[in-house]
Chain A
Amino acid sequence: MITVTNLHKWFGEDHILKGISTTFEKGKTSLVIGQSGSGKTVFMKCLLGLITPEEGTIDYDGKIYSELSSDQKRNLRQEMGMVFQGSALFDSMTVEGNVMFPLNMFTQQSNSEKEDRVNFVLNRVNLIDANHKYPAELSGGMQKRVAIARAIVMNPKYLFCDEPNSGLDPNTAIIIDNLIQEITQEYDIITVINSHDMNSVMEIGEKIVFLQNGSKAWEGTKEDIFKTDNEAVTRFVYSSELFKKVRQMYVEERT
């Protein structure tokens, strides 16, 4: 379990994260949602250790990140997988090179073992016959799959995804969302996803944390989100006509 307690982050005078406390559980896809500028990305970068918070603690299964030595932090990071918003694939490497990179860096496996593992995870994300292509030759959806494959190749305990379906068409976005959820359940890992895509929230939001102006304004499940009276959440969730109608139907059905 990841336990975040009273997390604060300032950039100069700007108070970006204002005492966020929450937990993320094993085998569940947790979504951090909120408007642009609400602090989602800074929050995720704090979880990843890329940004150091001024106050608060992040506890990874009993290991408090701020109390670890730099070597222990690096070792902990090897248990994390990350899917970046823009995929962050290494341009100079092929798909196979990208996915094999963590294995080359941190394992003593033979080439054939590494190749087998790479082919296994590429098959798992349904990416076939792309081993020797470069990132520039792939579509956005395929790049996201490679990023997911790279993130899970080391069997991580924690998977973080920053807006994994941004820039994707709705169909591909749902496929990527489902893939992340399947992987989370299959490998029993802790998955935290930053998103402002309501389709993702409804599709895979087993736990939802809503951030507003750097504070946690609400948390619950995708079922709870229909019932909540929290004005900020309803304003965010039902900003589109489609979701307004969905809620109206839900309320009518209940009454």
Chain B
Amino acid sequence: MTYLSAIGSYSIMVKEVFKKPTKWPIMKSLILKEIDELIFNSLGIIVFISLFIGGVVTIQTALNLENPLIPVSLIGFAPRQSVILEFAPTFTSIIMAGKVGSYITSSIGTMRVTEQIDALEVMGVNSLNYLVFPKIIAMLLYPFAVAIAMYMGILGGWMAGVWGNFTSSADFIEGLQLDFDPYHITYSFIKTLVFAFVIATVPSYHGYFMKGGALDVGKASTTSFVWTSVVIIILNFILTQLLLG
């Protein structure tokens, strides 16, 4: 019952976000600020994680290739598939749920605790539009961050494979091009856009409707991370069935 009530409140919140828009000049500056905070400030960690994940997948594939009948180019094929299909969109989104999600929950939650949201409402501002809408729009750029994650993951695989003497550069690139299906990129970006919406709205919900004091802001951030991750994993399963099944 509690879950149903939470889903209902979340749906109403999302509807309210798109009502009574804030004046464009103000909204524009809010969106630019959020792009900086949510996307650009996350690129460092995305690049770092993707490089190493790509490298690890390559090394593990190479170390498990014992059968001489399996072509060495598989060392390039495996990281391409795993990075494009799963690691870049899903794994990065889980990381973003932690980094960006807890920032969103704690910043909105602190505004709730210190009555800043009440202040917005009393002034006649649609606080949900003012606070959440710029985050949703900023997160529309998230697929670009995931594209960078894909590139860096594959680059990390190449670096680990070639510099670690597991494969030659030519074999790795042959593996990268083997049976390439561009639809996998489309599938990945569709997932990413859905996850972007989840990362912007679920933590906002937890921050906006939190009750209590400073300690509860921390608890709300943790709860928000857990639920954002759960929703991403469930949606990942559903979208994979729908788009690839």
Contact = CB atoms under 8 A, between A and B. Distances in A.
Contacts of B124: 74-78, 105-106
Contact of B121 (A50, A76, A90): A50
Contact of B115 (A49, A75, A88, A105): A88
B118 A77 contact: no
Most A Cβ at <10 Å: residue of B26, B123, B125, B126: B123
Interface residues of A, number: 26
B125 A105 contact: yes
Nearest to B123: A102
Q: Which of A50, A86, A102, A105 has the most chain B CB atoms inside 10 A of its CB?
A: A105
Nearest to B20: A74
A86 B123 contact: no
Contact of B116 (A78, A90, A160): A90
B114 A78 contact: no
B26 A86 contact: no
Nearest to B16: A70
B119 A84 contact: yes
Interface string B129-166: 00000000000000000000000000000000000000
B122 interface: yes
What is the interface residue range for chain B against chain A?
10 to 19
A148 interface: no
A86 B110 CA distance: 13
A104 interface: yes
Contacts of A82: 118-119, 122
Question: Mostly helix, strand, loop or mixed at chain B's interface?
Answer: loop
B26 A84 contact: no
Nearest to A162: B115
B22 interface: yes
Interface string A60-96: 0000000000110011111010101110111100000
Interface in A218-232: none
B116 A88 contact: yes
Contact of B123 (A45, A89, A91, A105): A105
Given A48-B122, A77-B124, A86 B114 contact: yes
A78 to B, nearest CB: 4
Nearest to B22: A105
Contacts of A91: 110, 114, 116
A88 B122 CA distance: 11
Interface of A: 45, 48-50, 70-71, 74-78, 80, 82, 84-86, 88-91, 101-102, 104-106, 160
11 contacts: A50-B118, A74-B126, A77-B124, A82-B118, A84-B115, A86-B115, A88-B116, A89-B116, A91-B110, A101-B123, A104-B23
